[in-house]
Amino acid sequence: MDTRYILEQTSVGTRVGGADFNYRPGRSVLCDTRVPTAEKNGPMPVYTHGPVFYKLLMDGGSVSGVKGEQTSPKGNGRILHEMEKTGLGEQKDTGSSGILKRASPTHCPGTNGQSPGVFMHLDIRNPGKQAELANNFRAAQEWIIPPSEIQPLPSSHIPVPRNRKPSGHADKEVMAATVLTSLSTSPLVLNPSCAPPVTEPGSRAWKDVLSNSYSSSTSGNWSWDNSDQSVPSTPSPPLSNDTNKNFPLLTPGDDVNEDVPESTHFMFEDPIPRKRKNSMKVMFKCLWKNCEKVLSTSSGIQRHVRTVHLGRNTDSDYSDGEEDFYYSEIEINMDSLTEGLSSLTPTSPTTCGPPPVFPPPLTAVPHSERINMNSSHSPTPTLLSQSAPSTLCHIRTDHAYQGPVIQVRTVSIGEKRQPAAITHSTVIKNHALITPAPKSAPGTRKPRGEAKKCRKVYGMEKRDMWCTACRWKKACQRFTD
């Protein structure tokens, strides 16, 4: 369980994703893993420009943390303790954060100033500061994201990795198709919510959505994500329909029932990453609104479009090429597919059912990662459509853990946070962030304080002079340790 672990987890997702996304390795994911955690506030873009954000995040909690630690006499748990008692949740992580802070400069080139450095200081635990820094963040965002990638749409907040592999043949086709269709009065245009972006409608949209869901998985920023996703302007493939409120792009696929195993596979697969060849199978998916037909041959899909949607003669094989605009290639990772089938568990992925199935903390993130990375190729909505709902649930579950996260009980007073290498502190922090508030393990009692308590000081005969806590046989409030 260390940074390496996360990286590995990351690579899982990448692999599973079929690499088509080209979310090259951990980097982006890695940062994503934590980004969200920090994104408690508002619609802050989640940047997958990996290293940067990741580090920023690490810094995130440090600011106040440093203070806390520095002001408190080393070894004296008192301050921390009292902070804890006063309920300054945001300070609780201070200890480790401070460590992080100190370590971060090493990993964050050019962070001292503003720009990236700025939102490196975003403190999740300090909403105020967050807000204050939001602007800087936005400024920084331009610094990081080339203007060319900044789009006005909400979904544009989710960056697409620059190094993304140029979309394949299918995407070009789709792009062309999109352009053309947008010029005509094609069904694609008729539905405003379907108006695809100029580039790679399916791919982009899905990436966006997935990024969203992914990031949210860790950020717990669901309010934003949801709203974002439900925004009509969110690019989506034509097949989206209104019934998908939470996940506009996720339509219950009925044609491709591999969905189920697929998602299951992603959800339950062994997190240990193993390199494997992808055996991708090209399928052809109908892009017509509300149609999710997926066929294995282009001729088949053409015929489908021609006959079903264009109302052409069924018998005639004549094609004027218009069908091409209404379907696109998708690649399906047969490996994952088959694996998913074989590892299919009784648990239906569509059921939000048993979130507990996931060992909550450390595997939670990877799960969502996988889901994210999974979006192997551009328009594979149906592939994911069914996994998505569970993703939602799952993510929510994660989120649930994040609630306590912030209030994670600090290490007991006695424990001193070890100044450690950044990786180590990261681990600690992550753990703290992801692990549900450790209910003070049974048997671990607060070490008995040295100070004399009311009982001892005043004696039984002056019980009325005791503090109430003492009277109630609770931890003395007057003579705290």
Partner DNA sequence: CCTGCCGGGAG
Partner DNA sequence: CTCCCGGCAGG
Q: Which residues bind DNA (CB under 7 A)?
A: 440, 442-443, 445-449, 452-453, 455-456, 468-476, 481
* 3-class secondary structure, 428: helix
For residues 375 and 266, what is the distance between their CA atoms, to the nearest angstrom? 11
Instruction: Between 135 and 468, name the residue whose CB sits nearer to DNA.
Output: 468
Instruction: Between 27 and 453, name the residue whose CB sits nearer to DNA.
Output: 453
Q: Tell the burial category of 400 from Cβ atoms under 10 Å away from its Cβ (0-12, 13-18, 19+).
A: middle
Instruction: Between 344 and 475, name the residue whose CB sits nearer to DNA.
Output: 475
Instruction: Between 276 and 463, name the residue whose CB sits nearer to DNA.
Output: 463
DSSP string, 146-161: -GGG--SSGGGGSPPP
Phi-psi region of 25 (alpha: psi -120 to 50; beta: other; left: phi over 0): left
* 3-class secondary structure, 328: strand
Contact 181, 263 (CB under 8 A): no
Instruction: Between 149 and 481, name the residue whose CB sits nearer to DNA.
Output: 481
Q: β-pairing, 327-333 with 294-295? A: unpaired
Give the nearest distance from C-beta 88 to DNA in angstroms: 19
Give the nearest distance from C-beta 37 to DNA in angstroms: 28
Give the nearest distance from C-beta 270 to DNA in angstroms: 36
Give the nearest distance from C-beta 447 to DNA in angstroms: 6
Give the nearest distance from C-beta 74 to DNA in angstroms: 22
- Cα angle 399, 353, 10 (rounded to 5 degrees) comes to 50
Contact 348, 5 (CB under 8 A): no
What letter represents residue 335's amino acid? D
Instruction: Between 431 and 478, name the residue whose CB sits nearer to DNA.
Output: 478
Give the nearest distance from C-beta 474 to DNA in angstroms: 5
Instruction: Between 183 and 441, name the residue whose CB sits nearer to DNA.
Output: 441
Total residue count of the chain as it appears in this document? 481
Q: Could you tell me the end-to-end alpha-carbon distance of the chain, in angstroms, rounded to an integer?
A: 34
- CA distances in angstroms from 340 to 105, 162, 343, listed in the order given: 43, 30, 5
Give the nearest distance from C-beta 466 to DNA in angstroms: 9
Sign of CA dihedral 20, 25, 28, 32: positive
Give the nearest distance from C-beta 30 to DNA in angstroms: 37
Give the nearest distance from C-beta 412 to DNA in angstroms: 11
Give the nearest distance from C-beta 81 to DNA in angstroms: 12
- Residue 146 phi/psi, 5° resolution? -55, 140
Instruction: Between 4 and 452, name the residue whose CB sits nearer to DNA.
Output: 452
Instruction: Between 1 and 451, name the residue whose CB sits nearer to DNA.
Output: 451
What letter represents residue 109's amino acid? P
For residues 243 and 232, what is the distance between their CA atoms, to the nearest angstrom? 12
Instruction: Between 245 and 445, name the residue whose CB sits nearer to DNA.
Output: 445
- Residue 33 phi/psi, 5° resolution? -50, -35
DSSP string, 214-239: HHHHHH--HHHHHHHHH-TTS---TT
